[in-house]
Structure 1
């Protein structure tokens, strides 16, 4: 767990879950796999999330929206490292995003091909139906 800086407020896991439309279980899982951290709150009983980790959760949600896996997020976090050096993370993020762009391009090509097959098949069926109804 990271340390709480003096005067820094934390948000509870329940409040964060509501704010982001997540479950507390999801946040705990992300903590378990090491892509976020919580701090021991001053009351000592509950964990909280600092503004840094709230921003990090927003970033994770964006990465998730872009299709990154937990493993890729762990990889980014490792690249970011303990020194919190963004310049080490950005090249790796660009590399991962390039891989996802290529996957999306491949899927789009497959979908375009599938669409053409469906349109062609539909036209064939229409033509057969017309021929059979004319002969019938």
Structure 2
């Protein structure tokens, strides 16, 4: 990603970031709108771009999204992280959120397991009725 410098930091265009990370520019703009990332104006005044810090943040957001966190949860994390950029304030909240997601997944797994058992039992009963019906017709 070759990009102009903004102050001391290299700024990568929104298009380059989107292509490199497999996102759409629309997604990146939306994340800006909801306040979980920020762009900077390129030094040449052209399209917006992202600093290396923001690109790392985008990758972190992608991972959180993959883990099931919502935009609202990410906004909450960003608020906890705060202007001081204190990771040690964010980590306990992130752990709490991940624990909540683990509990939800465990509940879903339990429900799916129960549903699977019900379906297997029902299938056995139906298959037995079919077998009994076929056998009864042969005997007649």
TM range (shorter): over 0.9
Runs (4+) of structure 1 exceeding 3 A deviation are: none
Residue 103 of structure 1: CA displacement? 0.3
2:6–2:42 contact (8 Å) kept in structure 1: no
- Is 2:54 the partner of 1:50? no
Which of the pair has more CA radius of gyration? 2
Give SS of 1:22's match.
coil
What residue in structure 1 maps to residue 18 of structure 2? Answer: 17
Structure 1 position 6, deviation (Å): 2.5
Bigger relative contact order, structure 1 or 2, given CA contacts below 8 A and separation 6+? 1
Distance 1:125 1:17 in 2: 52
Query: What is the distance in 2 between the residues matched to 1:90 and 1:77?
Result: 11
Q: Distance in 2 between matches of 1:70 and 1:79?
A: 14
Map Cα deviations across residues 87-134 of structure 1 (whole Å, 9 max, x no partner). 100000001001000000000000000100110011111101110000
Aligned residues: 133
Question: What are the ranges of 5 or more consecutive residues in structure 1 without an aligned counterpart?
Answer: none
- 1:1-33 CA-partner distances (Å, limit 9, x unpaired): xxx863311111111111111110110000000
Whole-angstrom CA distance in 2 between matches of 1:90 and 1:118: 41
SS of residue matched to 1:48: strand
Paired position in structure 1 for 2:87: 86
